[in-house]
């Protein structure tokens, strides 16, 4: 009889530990998804900021104005930043700090590559071939038919969201 009680106690404790393990694994998975979404949003923000800068430059260069399109970019960037603030609020301060450092590192790497044109010239031939293949694939606005950059979020001609 004592063996049966001992067996039941061990089984109950085993179930308890398994449930705790499942709970911890689930929490870690959710935190990982949240952190990945934050980093993905940071990449979107960086891309949109670059495109906004290029748009403002091209408008200024051509003595043109398209404030509604500029405002769309700004609103989109603001909404993504707000989503990131909400996501970071779900994390502990240490976890949010880790994501912040990771996104800063990614942004710094991107800035280094963009600021150093020599790195692009030194790319292997296969990378150049991939780039040439991507350049050959043109992207057009579904609204007005204007040619747009492959990673554009909005049409620079009519402002339609891509």
Give the domain ranges of the chain: 10-117, 123-162
Pairwise CA distance, residues 153 & 162, whole Å: 5
Answer whether 0.85 is exceeded by the pTM.
no
Cα angle 42, 120, 80 (rounded to 5 degrees) comes to 10
Measured over all CA atoms, what is the biggest interatomic distance in the chain, rounded to whole angstroms? 92
Residues in the chain, overall count = 162
Each of the 162 residues of the chain gets a pLDDT tens digit; together they read 688 899 899 999 999 999 999 999 999 999 999 999 999 999 999 999 999 998 899 889 889 999 999 999 999 999 999 999 999 999 988 888 888 877 666 566 555 555 544 444 444 444 443 444 444 578 898 988 888 888 887 787 787 778
Count of Cβ atoms closer than 10 Å to residue 38 Cβ: 23
Residue 104 Cα distances to 44, 64, 98, 107, 133, angstroms: 14, 34, 10, 5, 30
């Amino acid at each position: 009889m004592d063996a049966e009680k001992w067996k039941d106690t061990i089984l109950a404790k085993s179930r308890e530990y398994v449930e705790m393990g499942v709970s911890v694994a689930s929490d870690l998975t959710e935190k990982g998804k949240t952190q990945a979404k934050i980093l993905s949003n940071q990449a979107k923000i960086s891309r949109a900021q670059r495109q906004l800068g290029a748009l403002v430059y091209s408008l200024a260069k051509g003595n043109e104005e398209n404030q509604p399109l500029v405002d769309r970019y700004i609103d989109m960037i603001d909404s993504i930043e707000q989503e990131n603030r909400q996501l970071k609020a779900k994390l502990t301060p240490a976890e949010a700090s880790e994501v912040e450092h990771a996104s800063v590192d990614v942004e710094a790497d991107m800035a280094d590559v963009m600021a150093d044109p020599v790195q692009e010239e030194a790319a292997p031939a296969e990378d150049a071939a991939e780039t040439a293949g991507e350049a050959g694939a043109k992207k057009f606005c579904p609204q007005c038919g204007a040619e747009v950059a492959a990673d554009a979020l909005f049409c620079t001609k009519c402002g339609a969201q891509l």
